[in-house]
Structure formats: structure tokens, C-alpha cells
């Protein structure tokens, strides 16, 4: 799979992806400011969780994010939470697409959905950014870090998100949630995953801060300007909540411990030659931007995040077996579960695990 070609752009709708255009048009006429039909629909290639569509009219382009059809794991595919957080962040100037409306009536297109603005720009997948010069890579990586630090620095009351999640015990709740989701979607026994499920909750670092967390902050969930390193929009807020900013930051750091495979992994590359900051430089910059200085538990957080993404991909593997996976690339994505579990256990051992 070549993510830059296979996951970027749109494709025609299949019968399984079909939407009642008349019902959708009528809903948009009633709920989307400035909307004028008729519409034409296509589907974005990328995205493993919530199907995402492009809606074109003669005057404007929109994006529709919906829950998938079929049996869903509890609390998964929370498009209403995505809509709530971008609605809170958009007036502050944080780079998110403008939200237009949320529909919780399954009778319109068959599942809950929301409409947001279409933001045009570059989506990048390969963490080595092979088509760019060193200075451009540096600017992109610095802007990614700056934007994440900005998110973690928001006053949650000022942006109307004080009720978006619980204030404490974020990692404990996440471990419980993803352990449960993993077991519900388990297709084979992975002993190291069982060890992680036992060890992680017994060794959770103290949560010193509470902030907005994105939950899936990585290179390909950002839209960059076509002619600069400016970030125009942060996408895919399905896993967002309030919680431990260090858990969110170290999710971003996973790129530095994962091998380059055409995705965000950059472990072992020549950072100086490429103009990509080292993990140590990223940690230093983040600390300076946020004032969060206790980084003594980095290995635990990396183990936790690798475990978490493995559990998420296990859910995709289950959907592949059931025939409800959203993306044609889902089967290949789901094959990453075992390598991620192995990497998580390696980080856990660095953090002191000896089960």
C-alpha cells in the first residue's frame, strides 16, 4: 500500500456507501447556512473508522462524517463528540474546519452524521516527507508540535468544553476502555497483550494536568497549506476528550519509535540530514511551550499508546472479519496489531515491566 496515493483524494461511492441524496439535500437546506443544491457525492479514500464523504455543489464543498452502518462497539464512532469539540474550538481560531450541523436522526442517511467545511490543502502521510527540502521538514515538524502544545494550553472553560470529559484518571479510564474493546474484538490470543492489560493499570503515572486531548494526533490527520508549513485544519476528533496532555503528546511521539514504512514512523532516520527534530528536541520544545516539565515516565506513556493503537486496530481487524470495515486498506492496517503489541511490551520493559 502507498498511503500517499491509496489514502488521499476521493473515489466513487459503492452501493454499500450509498446515501439518499434527496433526504440529505433536504436536511442541508434546513440546517446548513448558505447551502444551495443540487449536490454530488464522493467518498474520501482515507479513514478507517468513520466514513467520510465530500459533498460538492456549484458554490461550495462540504465534508460529511457519519457513523458506520452495522454492529458497533460501545462508545465507538462518536461523531457527535467530534462535532462538539470542533464547535468549541473553531471560534478560538484553532485550526479546525468550520462546523455546520449535526444530525442524530438515523432516518436521513441511516446513521448519525455531521457536516463541516471542506478545507483544501495538503495531506501528508510519509513521516520522512521525501518530496520536501530539509528546511520545509523542520517547519512542518515545528508547526505540528506548536499546534499540539496550543491545544493542550487552552482554558477548557473559555472554549465551553468543561463538560467534555472527566478531569482526572484519564489513563486509567482509557486503559479500561481499550482493554474492554480489545476483548470484545479479540480474534486470537496474544500473550503480550494480556500482560500489558495487567501491567499498565498497576503502574499509571500521576496525572498533573487536565487539558483537551485529541487522541489521534499524527501527520496524516492534519491539512497543511499547499505552499507553506501552515496547518489549516486538524482532523479526526473521534477520540478527543479531556485528559492527560502527556498521554496525547506521547501518542505523537510514537512516530519516533516506529520504523519508516511510508506512514508517520521515523525511527532510525538521519534526523540532522532530513531536518527532522530528534525526540529529545521535540520533548524540549514541548516542555518550553507548555511548562510541562516532568518527562520521567516517557516509556510508560509510549507503552500505553502503542497498546491503545493496537487495541483500536484490533477493532478494525474484527470489522474486516465481519465485512463491515470502512476502508479497502483495513485488512492491511489490521495486520499491524501484533508488531504494535511487541513494541508496546518493549517500551513497558524499559519502564520496568518484568511480568
Query: What are the structural domain ranges in the chain?
Result: 3-117, 134-350
The region, left, alpha or beta by phi > 0 then psi within -120 to 50, assigned to residue 179 is alpha
Q: What are phi and psi of 245, to 5 degrees?
A: -65, -25
Burial of 317 (0-12, 13-18, 19+ CB in 10 A): buried
Q: Is the pLDDT of residue 152 over 70?
A: yes
Does the fold of domain 134-350 match that of domain 3-117? no
Mean pLDDT of the 36-59 span: 86
From 175, 218, 180, select the one nearest 314 (Cα to Cα): 180
- The CATH architecture of the domain made up of 3-117 is 2-Layer Sandwich (3.30)
Mean pLDDT (the chain, rounded): 89
pLDDT, tens only, 160-180: 999 999 878 999 999 999 999
- Rounded to whole angstroms, the Cα distance separating 128 from 172 reads 33
Confidence of residue 11 (pLDDT cuts 50, 70, 90): confident
Q: What are the grid coordinates assigned to 115, written together?
A: 457536516
Lowest mean pLDDT, pick from 147-156, 182-191, 325-334: 325-334
Q: How far apart are CA 34 and CA 82, in angstroms?
A: 22
Question: pTM score > 0.75 for this model?
Answer: yes
Residue 95: which of 44, 154, 46 has the closest Cα?
154
pLDDT at 151: 98
Higher pLDDT, 304 or 320: 304
Residues with Cβ within 8 Å of 288's Cβ and at least 6 positions away in sequence, in order, are: none
What is d(CA 7, CA 2) in angstroms, rounded to the nearest whole number?
8
Cα(4)–Cα(263) distance, rounded to whole angstroms? Answer: 9
SS (H, E, C) the chain: CCHHHHCCCEECCCCCCCCCHHHHHHHHHHHCCCCCCCCEEEEECCCCCCCEEEEECCCCEEEEEECCCCCCCCCCCCHHHHHHHHHHHHHHCCCCCCEEEEECCHHHHCCCEEEEECCCCECCCCCCCCCCCHHHHHHHHHHHHHHHHHHHCCCCCCCCCCCCCCCCCHHHHHHHHHHHHHHHHCCCCCHHHHHHHHHHHHHCCCCCCCEEECCCCCHHHEEECCCCCCEEEECCCCCCEEECHHHHHHHHHHHHHCCCCCCCCCCCCCHHHHCCCCHHHHHHHHHHHHCCCCCCCHHHHHHHHHHHHHHHHHHHHHHHHHCCCCCCCHHHHHCCHHHHHHHHHHHHHHCCCCC
Q: Beta 211-213 vs 241-243: how paired, if at all? A: antiparallel
Distance CA 120, CA 55 (A): 13
Share of the chain above pLDDT 70, in %: 89
Between vectors from CA 142 to CA 215 and to CA 230, what angle results, nearest 5°?
Answer: 85
- Write down the pLDDT at residue 319: 72
Strands 52-56, 222-224: pairing kind? unpaired
Report pLDDT digits (tens) over 57-81. Answer: 999 999 999 987 655 555 556 899 9
Question: Cα separation of 291 and 287, whole Å?
Answer: 5
Which fold, 134-350? Aminoglycoside 3'-phosphotransferase; Chain: A, domain 2 (3.90.1200)
Say what percent of the chain tops pLDDT 90.
72
Amino acid at each position: 500500500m502507498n498511503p500517499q496515493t491509496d489514502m488521499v483524494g476521493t473515489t466513487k461511492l459503492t452501493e454499500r456507501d450509498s446515501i439518499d441524496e434527496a433526504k440529505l439535500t433536504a436536511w442541508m437546506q434546513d440546517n446548513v447556512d448558505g447551502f444551495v443544491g443540487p449536490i454530488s457525492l464522493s467518498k474520501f479514500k482515507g479513514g478507517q473508522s468513520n466514513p467520510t464523504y465530500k459533498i460538492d455543489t456549484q458554490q461550495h464543498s462540504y465534508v460529511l462524517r457519519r457513523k458506520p452502518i452495522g454492529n458497533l462497539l460501545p462508545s465507538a464512532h462518536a461523531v457527535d463528540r467530534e462535532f462538539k469539540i470542533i464547535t468549541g474550538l473553531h471560534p478560538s481560531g484553532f485550526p479546525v474546519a468550520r462546523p455546520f450541523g449535526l444530525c442524530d436522526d438515523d432516518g436521513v442517511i441511516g446513521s448519525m452524521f455531521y457536516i463541516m467545511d471542506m478545507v483544501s490543502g495538503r495531506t501528508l502521510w510519509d513521516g520522512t516527507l521525501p518530496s520536501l527540502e530539509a528546511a520545509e521538514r523542520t517547519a512542518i515538524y515545528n508547526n505540528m508540535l506548536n499546534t499540539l502544545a496550543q491545544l493542550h494550553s487552552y482554558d477548557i472553560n473559555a472554549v465551553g468544553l468543561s463538560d467534555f470529559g472527566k478531569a482526572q484518571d484519564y489513563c486509567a479510564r482509557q486503559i479500561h476502555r481499550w482493554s474492554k474493546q480489545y476483548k470484545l474484538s479479540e480474534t486470537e490470543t496474544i500473550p503480550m497483550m494480556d500482560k500489558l492489560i495487567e501491567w499498565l493499570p498497576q503502574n499509571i503515572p500521576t496525572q498533573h494536568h487536565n487539558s483537551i486531548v485529541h487522541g489521534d494526533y499524527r501527520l496524516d490527520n492534519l491539512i497543511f497549506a499547499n505552499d507553506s508549513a501552515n496547518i489549516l485544519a486538524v482532523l479526526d476528533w473521534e477520540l478527543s476528550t479531556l485528559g492527560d496532555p502527556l498521554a496525547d503528546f506521547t501518542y505523537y511521539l510514537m512516530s519516533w519509535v516506529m520504523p519508516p514504512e511510508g506512514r508517520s514512523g521515523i525511527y532510525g532516520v538521519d534526523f540532522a540530514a532530513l531536518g527532522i527534530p530528534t525526540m529529545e528536541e521535540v520533548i524540549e520544545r514541548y516542555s518550553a511551550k507548555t511548562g510541562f516539565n516532568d518527562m520521567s515516565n516517557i516509556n510508560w506513556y509510549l507503552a500505553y499508546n502503542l497498546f491503545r493503537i493496537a487495541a483500536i486496530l484490533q477493532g478494525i481487524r474484527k470489522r474486516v472479519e465481519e465485512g463491515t470495515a470502512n476502508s479497502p486498506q483495513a485488512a492491511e492496517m489490521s495486520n499491524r496489531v501484533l508488531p504494535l503489541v511487541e513494541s508496546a511490551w518493549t517500551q513497558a520493559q524499559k519502564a520496568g515491566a518484568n511480568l
